[in-house]
Structure 1
């Protein structure tokens, strides 16, 4: 026995020496242990009979600490008990008044407001998947989003009345019911549902509604724009819902924390990581309808916020506000988010104090991601050799011009070396499944890359270029394909092109993202070729994009191109930026063809 103890002590000493000699090995081991425990906890909960879902975890908190504040919104405080009772009433109203049955998909078309939370929980109590509609979608994109998730019921806010009324005739024709979550309805033919909800019982609905729910059941659909154009409904299962919500716990969010989110709830960061993380941990969420740089820190002080959520653009806005004497006077200890550039990261810490930054990387439909658990400035995570055993990934060579991976003589992809940029692909396994998109198997298949490292294997194609340095830190570089990111949203260029193609004076159009100094992501540029004899009309194009496209997707710049017999033998000739959205006050208009077809120089103020 003594010899065995000595041997164990010797092995422990060797391990400690190895940890001291290999940089970040101890951090990798701790992160590995934390993430494995979290994964085991989620899978164990859902393997029980009946399974314990995120809804059940919330209800446990509501029973144990009913008076604990769950949601703070403006001047209102909603405790766990309040939200439990409100969601019960909503579930009863949806079941009795609308005859809602388990398994029926319900689309939620709401801004950031408390009703989003108890509507989500009410639908979960009825076993109904929720389709989280982007509040910015309109017209054809809105109808497509409903069709993709096969939603036959829409719960909307009167704030989005114009968008609802635009598609209402088509929805009525297709048998899709629409209700407002309000006391009164401003739209003929659309009923207000709040009176029925307030009159419903506070007791929980029967458990039979969720009798068939398992870890593989579809909990919700979250939309993302991609290379195929119109919004894609990413499938979020009960297991994935719980795994993403556990990210807050992994990063160190505690039950006594107050989490501040201004991110839209129709995206996974705000809904699943922020609000879902509070449901998982039992923390308090402060919800704001929209981000305001001027009110951000005042809100943090007012609500005693300890954790903030961010995207890179949000942090840049905060750093660009005029300095104040009380910039460092707050109780925020942690920031959780993604997309923050290194220079913004450094400026944020310099100005606002020693806040722990937990940057992460992931896609709503993705099957794995990264967490920067060391605080390395600018990195999105680490190539943790231990986690890679459970979630195999690779960075492979990618031909950006041909928009395809580079393959060797065997037809396999080629991993890049440290310091080189490569396409991130994540192996599809039982531990890291890819559930794809609802409504179109072709879109799902396009995100699967086969024969990557061996014949017959399958990897999720992230569509993102990343770089791994010599110390195994991972850095985001750029997006590939027909998608760029602006104002925290993914913009599908093919969708914008199809919309602009409807303008009567446009013959051809190509949309792409361009870098704007001082801004995160890329801004929309539309290169257009005019029809013969047509004249460019900037006011008309602006009005059209305002009415048909989300604000983040509308091109801010236009480059006019045309075939001129007097220029370069008839080849396309770039005229330069000749129009931009009206938030540029000094924008000047240019004519695409005067003086016999010669170029005309036009100057504008670049945004």
Structure 2
């Protein structure tokens, strides 16, 4: 023991520890009793401007209304996340958001959603309720101040700000400021969770956990703290170590109390479910197509300036995720401000007080009054769209954390896990796709003639499994499976009420709209046959070929249906329905039938259709003649399950149905694949450049259906301009010309084209799933029937046999006839072959010619009846069209035969892209190395090319024009050099001979 100069014992050595112990006990008792230390701080003054059940609108530091008082500055409306109290903006008066903004001449407003567990009906709130409420609050601020509003949101509050701005299309908004607000949620998840596993986990939690429970405030606090357990433990340890020093604790006490207890409020289960499903599982802030009370919204509609405040070491709103706003909102000027802080430190604390809020104030003044851009604010660079699954960097973490060694260990472990995830990414993707695909293929493989399967049945299953799942999008509105299924059942009752029975053939003459889909599905559920009548066809012939007993029509097609001698059932048409049916006994308004008043007869069983049963009748035109195509339930199922498997469709997909529902592609591929895959189907009114871009973003389209040259109407239109990102990953359809295919991939990359080939009876189905070989039809679809390629002699139009009399299989790159081993009913008009490869076996000839390359991919050569037999040998139209279609200037090509003085000449007509030219040297090179068949005799540029109603280029009108006229855009094949030269009048006269 030491002694002082007087020789007495130094009492400070005793009183110091005792005083520290007493102070610790006193402060600790105060914390235990009151939850924290009394700081004497008072909240900033505010006025409640509006109070409704959903929110209260606060205006901080309300301006003096007396004459001569200083006017308020530009208004900033601040939005808190659902699990955090609105008091977060005023945790400390001197260093809090509202106080700093007020001192900087800004007018601070705060929306307070309150604690939902303390409000009647609060725990039933969903995300859309918050967005609509925030939109109403913006209207109030605008009305009170007369100025456009700067909208600022922290974390999920920033997500609300983005969503509300999109919902309002930026109306009355001066700018948006988001603090650590994720947009591309799958780009970088908290704790570096792998993005590939998040959708399935989020879907499961939304459907099976948070659909049943809510999150109380204490659990929200615990969850937030668990996202950074090291920092939470460190903060508590620092508080305990300084518990004796009241003066050291007081400056941060309000912030500590806020985070430890006071700042957390309950979170409703429906809101969590919607957050998980729409913005994590389906990432719809990036793709678009999220629903706000039935309206479909996309961030691409935001066109006001955006400032994203990014925490360099934010492990919740990670930089990669926050920067997604740049791609999601291509019309907006997007800026960023990078601060070295964690998630909460962006808005509360010393760095927020000295960096964040002064910068926000400067941002508001800059937009309001002009001048220099705030220091530290810079235009946000465009980030790559690929998901790297990497989060906050190791160096940033180590620099930020005081527990460097521990943090390094955790980061290295996560980095190692990330490397393992990257190394196995393809395997994991394959596993996810397999988990989706195998059950579908297994179910398809179990289908036999007596299996009950139909469109109506699959839609019933989806409504049962996901009643609140989004099924149908149209005109900016969304309809759930439950709502669509209820509408189908009501229409079934209406059909029964007017006497339609199972097996009846009912014409469907409707534009592509929800009521058309419902009518087709209702007929399927009833067990009737839907005869899909093209509005532009000869309706009387279609009705006769389809043996139609009555017609379902929408109001726009009512007059055309009335012209036919049969009863017309009018369905749909929207709210304006002035049908004037008083004196027309043959027209029934289905919308006036009360389904509850219809008694179901004893014979009715929903979805009675067997695989072998006729389900639909479609139509196609061959050589100008309308042909009826019978489609069984098995044929529909094969295409639907095959499309869903080949395109890997799931609930996060939205299939954009460009093709009309009366077309087989629309019914079998677009609608069928979407329904089987559980994806959303978005109905379109047809290809239109402006509407196409607007709808793919509004709906969050991931898969676009097409037929033949349909997409040419979009991407070749001078008004078409694709700016910013898009959500499309696949184009699916059939018949796309090779040149258009190349352009689509170039414009919409990294999206791919999945080209299908299917015979009308569905016995043979091919799909180019990889999309790697432009023009190829791919390989047999898994789950489809067995196919074979029979060797073929095009000169004599014979299928070749071996020495034993069986059909010989075609060799690699040899022309063959595509045969299909039949499954299910065989079309009565089909060409049936027996004893083909074995005694008594049965095969169906598709009458299509193919070749199979060395990789096993199939290439369409021609139709057996369409081969052009010239003096030099056979010319195969599809092969020639593919070859010249790869020339950059060529839009489309059609090859056809023309008679010239008793001989057949092969002529290829080209449609060029605007401003395109084709040098003869390029033409000669393109046609020099055809894999099969000969090159055409004449090639010319057609001034006009006629397309069918399904956008297929027609040869008939060109053939009628005969041999092309001489011009600088017409060439003939020199028989000596095999190169193409300019077609002159002398050469043409020699070719035409005595015809002219």
Give yes or no for TM over 0.5: yes
Q: Report matched runs for 1:510-589 at 5 Å.
A: 515-518=908-911, 555-557=956-958, 559=960
Aligned to 1:332: 728
Aligned to 1:373: 769
Contact 2:734–2:756 (CA under 8 A) maintained in structure 1: yes
Aligned to 2:442: 40
Contact 1:575–1:599 (CA under 8 A) maintained in structure 2: no
Aligned to 2:519: 119
Is 1:298 the counterpart of 2:694? The answer is yes
Aligned to 2:843: 459
Contact 1:111–1:157 (CA under 8 A) maintained in structure 2: yes
CA distance in 1, matches of 2:730, 2:793: 38
Is 1:83 the counterpart of 2:476? The answer is no
After superposition, the Cα gap between the structure-2 partners of 1:553 and 1:207, relative to the gap in structure 1 and judged at 3 Å, is: farther
CA distance in 1, matches of 2:994, 2:454: 64
Q: TM-score, normalised by structure 2?
A: 0.42
Q: CA deviation at 1:185?
A: 4.4
- Cα deviation, 1:461-499, whole Å, max 9, x if unaligned, reads 22222221111111222223269999xxxx9x9xxxxxx
Q: CA deviation at 1:287?
A: 0.6
Tell me which moved more, 178-187 or 107-116: 178-187
Contact 1:226–1:482 (CA under 8 A) maintained in structure 2: no
Q: CA deviation at 1:106?
A: 1.5
Q: Report matched runs for 1:194-205 at 5 Å.
A: 194-197=589-592, 199-201=594-596
Q: SS of the counterpart of 1:313?
A: coil
Instruction: Name which of 435, 453, 458 aligns with 2:826.
Output: 435
Q: Report matched runs for 1:308-323 at 5 Å.
A: 308-322=704-718
Contact 1:179–1:190 (CA under 8 A) maintained in structure 2: no
CA distance in 2, matches of 1:323, 1:227: 34
Note the residue ranges of structure 2 that are not aligned, 5 or more in a row. Answer: 1-428, 868-876, 882-893, 897-904, 914-945, 967-992
Is 1:103 the counterpart of 2:497? The answer is no
Is 1:180 the counterpart of 2:582? The answer is no
Aligned residues: 472
Contact 1:261–1:285 (CA under 8 A) maintained in structure 2: yes
CA distance in 2, matches of 1:349, 1:449: 40
Q: CA deviation at 1:577?
A: 7.6
CA distance in 2, matches of 1:347, 1:271: 26
Instruction: Name which of 845, 862, 865 aligns with 1:481.
Output: 865
After superposition, the Cα gap between the structure-2 partners of 1:479 and 1:92, relative to the gap in structure 1 and judged at 3 Å, is: same
CA distance in 2, matches of 1:305, 1:276: 16
Instruction: Name which of 544, 550, 555 aligns with 1:153.
Output: 550
Q: SS of the counterpart of 1:481?
A: helix
Q: SS of the counterpart of 1:263?
A: coil
Tell me which moved more, 297-306 or 393-402: 393-402
Q: CA deviation at 1:163?
A: 4.4
Contact 1:396–1:423 (CA under 8 A) maintained in structure 2: yes
After superposition, the Cα gap between the structure-2 partners of 1:196 and 1:319, relative to the gap in structure 1 and judged at 3 Å, is: closer
Contact 1:383–1:474 (CA under 8 A) maintained in structure 2: yes
Instruction: Name which of 215, 233, 236 aligns with 2:629.
Output: 233
Q: CA deviation at 1:119?
A: 0.7
Q: CA deviation at 1:411?
A: 5.1
Q: SS of the counterpart of 1:360?
A: strand
CA distance in 2, matches of 1:426, 1:354: 34
CA distance in 1, matches of 2:580, 2:866: 39
Aligned to 2:659: 263
Q: SS of the counterpart of 1:201?
A: helix
CA distance in 2, matches of 1:387, 1:32: 12
Is 1:426 the counterpart of 2:820? The answer is yes
Contact 1:226–1:232 (CA under 8 A) maintained in structure 2: no
Q: CA deviation at 1:231?
A: 1.0
Q: SS of the counterpart of 1:395?
A: strand
Q: CA deviation at 1:158?
A: 4.2
Tell me which moved more, 215-224 or 396-405: 396-405
Which has the higher relative contact order, 1 or 2, with Cα contacts under 8 A spaced 6 or more apart? 1
Aligned to 1:284: 680
Aligned to 1:358: 754
- Coordinate RMSD, CA, aligned: 4.5
Contact 2:768–2:779 (CA under 8 A) maintained in structure 1: no
Instruction: Name which of 416, 420, 424 aligns with 2:810.
Output: 416
Contact 2:448–2:824 (CA under 8 A) maintained in structure 1: no
Q: TM-score, normalised by structure 1?
A: 0.66
CA distance in 1, matches of 2:756, 2:588: 39
CA distance in 1, matches of 2:612, 2:957: 42
Q: CA deviation at 1:114?
A: 1.3
CA distance in 1, matches of 2:439, 2:770: 19
Q: Which protein is bigger by CA-based radius of gyration?
A: 2
Q: SS of the counterpart of 2:595?
A: coil
After superposition, the Cα gap between the structure-2 partners of 1:318 and 1:451, relative to the gap in structure 1 and judged at 3 Å, is: farther
- Cα deviation, 1:394-418, whole Å, max 9, x if unaligned, reads 2223344655534557654333221
Aligned to 2:64: none
Is 1:58 the counterpart of 2:454? The answer is no
- Cα deviation, 1:111-134, whole Å, max 9, x if unaligned, reads 212111111222123221212222
Q: CA deviation at 1:270?
A: 0.9
- Cα deviation, 1:238-260, whole Å, max 9, x if unaligned, reads x3323322233202111121111
After superposition, the Cα gap between the structure-2 partners of 1:241 and 1:113, relative to the gap in structure 1 and judged at 3 Å, is: same
After superposition, the Cα gap between the structure-2 partners of 1:193 and 1:229, relative to the gap in structure 1 and judged at 3 Å, is: same
Aligned to 1:144: 544
Aligned to 1:569: none
CA distance in 2, matches of 1:64, 1:36: 19
CA distance in 2, matches of 1:478, 1:276: 28
Q: SS of the counterpart of 2:637?
A: helix
- Cα deviation, 1:20-57, whole Å, max 9, x if unaligned, reads xxxxxxx99999998664232245588999x4654233
Q: SS of the counterpart of 1:396?
A: strand
Note the residue ranges of structure 1 that are not aligned, 5 or more in a row. Answer: 1-26, 494-511, 521-544, 561-573, 579-597, 602-607
Q: CA deviation at 1:105?
A: 1.9
Aligned to 1:130: 530
After superposition, the Cα gap between the structure-2 partners of 1:391 and 1:552, relative to the gap in structure 1 and judged at 3 Å, is: closer
Q: CA deviation at 1:359?
A: 2.1
Aligned to 1:469: 853
- Cα deviation, 1:537-580, whole Å, max 9, x if unaligned, reads xxxxxxxx99xx999879434637xxxxxxxxxxxxx67689xx
Contact 2:655–2:701 (CA under 8 A) maintained in structure 1: yes
Q: CA deviation at 1:138?
A: 0.5
After superposition, the Cα gap between the structure-2 partners of 1:423 and 1:107, relative to the gap in structure 1 and judged at 3 Å, is: same
Q: SS of the counterpart of 1:86?
A: helix
Q: CA deviation at 1:153?
A: 1.8
CA distance in 2, matches of 1:272, 1:207: 31
Contact 2:817–2:846 (CA under 8 A) maintained in structure 1: yes
CA distance in 2, matches of 1:294, 1:464: 38
Contact 2:709–2:952 (CA under 8 A) maintained in structure 1: no
